[in-house]
Amino acid sequence: MENTRPTPENEAQTKQDVSRKSPRQLLVEFLRESEENFFNDVSGEVGGEKTPANKPHGDSTRAAAFKRARAYKFALAAVAVVAVGIGPIMRLSANESAQAVLNARVVTVRAPINGVLSHYGSTTVGTMTSFGQAVVTINNDHADRSTLNIIRRDWLKTNAEKDGLSQRIKTAEEERNSLLEADKQHKSARLEQFRFRKQQILELISAAKARLEAANASYTRISWLAERGLSTTAQLEIKRQDKEVAARAVSQNESQLAEVQVEYDAEQRGIRLTDDHNISTSMKERADRLAFEINNWKRDLEKHQHLLAELNEDLEREKMRYAEKEMRVVNSPVGGPIWEILTASGEFVNEGQPLFRVLDCSGILVSTSVSEATYNKLQVGDPAIFRSGSDLTEYEGRIIKMHGLAAPRANLAIMPEALSYEPFHITMKSDKISDRNQCTVGQTGIVSFRPLRTQRVFVKITRWLKYWVRSV
């Protein structure tokens, strides 16, 4: 047989294979392999004697076969000693727990408000609940609604003021429009009046000019007669005065025409000229005052609208707050069975008072108690196997917590101190238990630990024992 030394690759593969198997399985495989090697060698040697090609070397072959047979017998005897002697010792010193029980975290649900508690019909211990499922309701008939009433009164007051401003603006705009229309009609009438006055003055100017022409002609004739002594000086003076009066009348009428034209132009620009000062019409002034007041009211209306929008938000928020204070439905925060009900239906509860507890079945744990010797061999992360006491199913996992004698408080369904067989406590977790979707908290069993340090020693012994057998 070829003398094969272990290589780093073979050592790594052997270490990985052995770490996955228990010492009992490794021992059985070693015995089986040794027995198969022994019978294969013996059958090969015996078969070799019957072939003619091996006859020249018959004696040496039988001697080698005899030596190997003795070596295998010695190995089988050593293995038997290990199985009979060391096996029971290993079983006596096996790293197993004294107690083991399936455990889970407990979520305590507290009362969000004060009030009278009412259970749903299915609210009993052990009832399975899903995430967000309604479990109980709390009604508070004495919830404080003073803030809600204050906000509602402010909202009603602001809304009434807004409606008043809107109506006032509407009325003012209608009045202003009517004033502007009346002022427009007044302006049109005034312009028409000025046009008639201008026409009248123009006619007066025409008459005055006619009289002036007649006065000029009469004065010329009397002056011609007076030069020949046919008229008196008094008649000449009278004709001269008539001429001057006629000229002044023409000038006066032309001045009145210019004055009317000025008033006509001012009226077209919306300016009213009076004897003492230049002012617009009273209707125009009233319309301007209303426009100023309407602008102020519109600004106030915009402020009221913003305030009303904020009050609407406050009112809705306060309504929701009051609804939550008046009645609250308490839902399950996790999916799992109800572990404990701490209050009765119809009982008055205070805010923050515990109502019920629900198991969190999303992560099942295994709580165990071990001896001090076993505890000192283990460390967090070591592999472990939980064997169920009901169906003997094994679940692989790892140690996640070691808290020894100082067992801290934990929100678990079964407290570690309840496992009183041994004082040291260890918690392991197996994903395969959670994958079953069965929240069997309280189910007992045994946990077998496989310390990594012991596994490494056993791997070395097994590897070198195999190497020694192959060398022989």
Per-residue pLDDT tens over the stretch 271-298:
776 654 445 567 778 888 999 999 999 9
In the numeric block, the tokens 């590897």 are attached to 463
Cβ neighbours for 233, distance < 8 A, ≥ 6 positions apart: 226
Residue 380 CB contacts under 8 Å (≥ 6 apart), including other chains: 399, 400, 401, 402
Q: Where are the beta strands (DSSP E) in 10-140?
A: 99-110, 115-119, 128-129, 134-139
Say whether pLDDT at 142 is over 70. yes
Report the length, in residues, of the chain: 472
CA atoms of 343 and 404, how far apart (whole Å): 35
- Angstrom distance (rounded) from CA 25 to CA 12: 19
Instruction: Give me the pLDDT at residue 314, please.
Output: 93
φ, ψ dihedrals at 228, nearest 5° = -100, 0
What is the pLDDT averaged over residues 260-280? 70
Whether pLDDT at 137 is above 60 = yes
Where is pLDDT greater, at 345 or 439? Answer: 345
**385: CB partners within 8 A, 6+ apart:** 394, 395, 396, 397, 447, 448, 450
Per-residue model confidence (pLDDT) at position 50: 43
Inform me whether the pLDDT recorded for 440 exceeds 90. no
Does position 173 have pLDDT exceeding 50, yes or no?
Answer: yes
pLDDT at residue number 47: 47
* pLDDT computed for residue 253 by the predictor: 87
Identify whether the C-beta of residue 187 lies closer than 8 Å to the C-beta of residue 270. yes
| pLDDT at residue 2 greater than cutoff 60 | no
Task: Give the model's confidence band at 467: pLDDT under 50 very low, under 70 low, under 90 confident, else very high.
Answer: low
> How does DSSP classify residue 5?
P
Identify the weakest region by mean pLDDT among 45-59, 185-199, 234-248. 45-59
Residue 311 pLDDT more than 50? yes
Residue with tokens 């056993």: 458
The model's pTM: 0.51
Residue 201 reports pLDDT greater than 90 = no
Mean pLDDT of 186-195: 84
Q: Considering only residues 256 and 19, tell me which one the structure prediction assigns the higher pLDDT.
A: 256
Distance between CA atoms of 459 and 133, rounded to whole angstroms? 52
Determine the pLDDT at residue 152.
93
